């Protein structure tokens, strides 16, 4: 498509904002979905707090400590875990603006080791990956994720792999991302 | 006991420091024990990061963001969770300087609700409580904890309740607190 000078730039900028927000929404969508599951007493799955190294705290009064200096730490496990149908649930959620593949540098070596540990321990472990530009969200079980890493030297997982081995999560009004529907099928076929 | 003027104050201060350190050690002892379990590939149980509300972040360079203002948030779940023998494990750990009982204000209403949720969902849920002055550490299963709360209007759980319904955790060299030995017995009797 061709645009008069300036208009295209404007459009790109809008898209950037739009998709940027949408990317941030994966966490919000998952938290909303998890809160729905908790309210229904269906599952108890929470996002872990962001790991922080605190180096300076002020105590201006007895009741409120203020952290004045702290740094973000690399996570050593995944972001979400909890219990569903008596099973230990553990997953990492990521969004990407990449159109054709999911870059593996989104997940660090400690997290991959953790995913492998949980998988071997018979936990229900998976990734949830949203492709922002396609507005598609996939669930990929730990086994299929680990199979890809072991069988490939590629630095990203192509979307075709998610389409073949993953499970597309439908977006609904409530819960926003009903990913436990996919886990139900997997548990029922176990 | 009677002390000459000033000496008692000194003693109390020493004790405060000594037991303060020992209190801090429960978290360290549990983290060391959990790391041992992870190294042995026996269990994958982690302490969740401290929940923080970040209100100001500086970006002095592209590589290192510095948190300049943040506040501690009330936890809505327990501190530790993970997987052991295919089971979802979830617990809260607390130390107390109280000599005769464990004050219930150590555990907030959201956490009690969470413990109840996990218990009902068939997770393995418990408290680990260290009485610093006695140097004794007990594991109390969620059911016994919830039974106490429901059957009592007391604001603290007497140590006699821990002795009767709880399980004393022996301190060893490695792992420091082998609490999974108690969970083994409970799982074997299920």
> pLDDT band for position B107 (50/70/90)?
very high
Compute the distance between CA of residue B127 and CA of residue B111 in angstroms, rounded to an integer: 11
- CA gap B33, B27 in Å, rounded: 10
From A44, A52, A88, residue closest to B49, measured CB to CB: A52
Tokens of A83: 């219990």
pLDDT mean across residues, chain B: 88
A60, A71, A82, A90: best to mutate for the B interface, most B CBs within 10 A? A82
User: Is a pLDDT exceeding 50 seen at residue B6?
Assistant: no
Looking at residues B134-151, what average pLDDT do you find? 97
Contact A83 B90 (CB under 8 A): yes
- Tell whether the model's pLDDT for residue B21 goes beyond 50: no
| pLDDT of amino acid B62 | 67
Across B3-22, average pLDDT: 39
ipTM of the complex: 0.86
Boundaries of every domain in chain B: 7-49+76-188
Contact call for A70 and B71, based on CB within 8 A = no
Over chain A (190 residues), the average pLDDT of each successive run of 10 is 37 40 76 97 97 92 85 94 98 96 96 98 98 96 97 94 97 95 95
Q: Assign domain A7-48+76-188 one CATH number from 3.90.850.10, 3.40.50.150, 3.50.50.100, 3.40.1350.10.
A: 3.40.1350.10
Provide the shortest C-alpha distance from residue A14 to chain B (in Å): 24
The radius of gyration of chain B's CA atoms, rounded to the nearest angstrom, is 19
* Short-list B20, B61, B72, B22, CA closest to A54: B72
**CA–CA separation, B88 and B122 (whole Å):** 8
Q: Nearest by CB to B44, which of A54, A86, A118?
A: A118
Describe the crossing of helices A109-120 and A142-151 by its angle, rounded to 10 degrees.
Answer: 120
What Rg, from alpha-carbon coordinates, does chain A have? 19
Tell whether the model's pLDDT for residue B4 goes beyond 60: no
**In chain B, pLDDT over 70 holds for what percent of residues?**
86
More confident residue, B94 or B2: B94
Token couple for B90: 């979830």
User: Which tens digit of pLDDT belongs to each residue from B35-78?
Assistant: 999 999 999 999 999 999 999 999 887 668 999 999 999 999 99
Q: Which fold has domain B7-49+76-188?
A: Trna Endonuclease; Chain: A, domain 1 (3.40.1350)
B81 touches chain A (CB under 8 A): yes
* Nearest chain A Cα distance for residue B84, angstroms: 8
pLDDT at B13 over 50: no
Which of A78, A66, A120, A129 shows the shortest CA–CA distance to A102? A129
């Amino acid at each position: 498509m061709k645009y008069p000078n300036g208009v295209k730039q404007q459009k790109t900028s809008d898209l950037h904002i739009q998709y940027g927000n949408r990317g941030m929404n994966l966490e919000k969508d998952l938290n909303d979905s998890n809160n729905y599951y908790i309210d229904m007493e269906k599952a108890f799955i929470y996002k872990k707090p962001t790991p922080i190294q605190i180096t300076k705290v002020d105590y201006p009064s007895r009741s409120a400590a203020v952290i004045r200096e702290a740094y973000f730490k690399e996570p050593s496990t995944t972001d979400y875990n909890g219990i569903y149908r008596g099973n230990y649930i553990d997953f990492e959620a990521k969004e990407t603006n990449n159109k054709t593949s999911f870059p593996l540098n989104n997940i660090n070596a400690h997290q991959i080791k953790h995913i492998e540990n949980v998988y071997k321990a018979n936990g229900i472990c998976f990734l949830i990956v949203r492709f922002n530009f396609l507005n598609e969200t996939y669930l990929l079980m730990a086994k299929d994720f680990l199979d890809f890493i072991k069988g490939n030297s590629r630095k990203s997982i192509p979307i075709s792999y998610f389409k073949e081995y993953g499970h597309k999560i439908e977006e609904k009004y409530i819960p926003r991302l009903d990913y436990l529907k996919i886990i139900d099928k997997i548990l029922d076929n176990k």
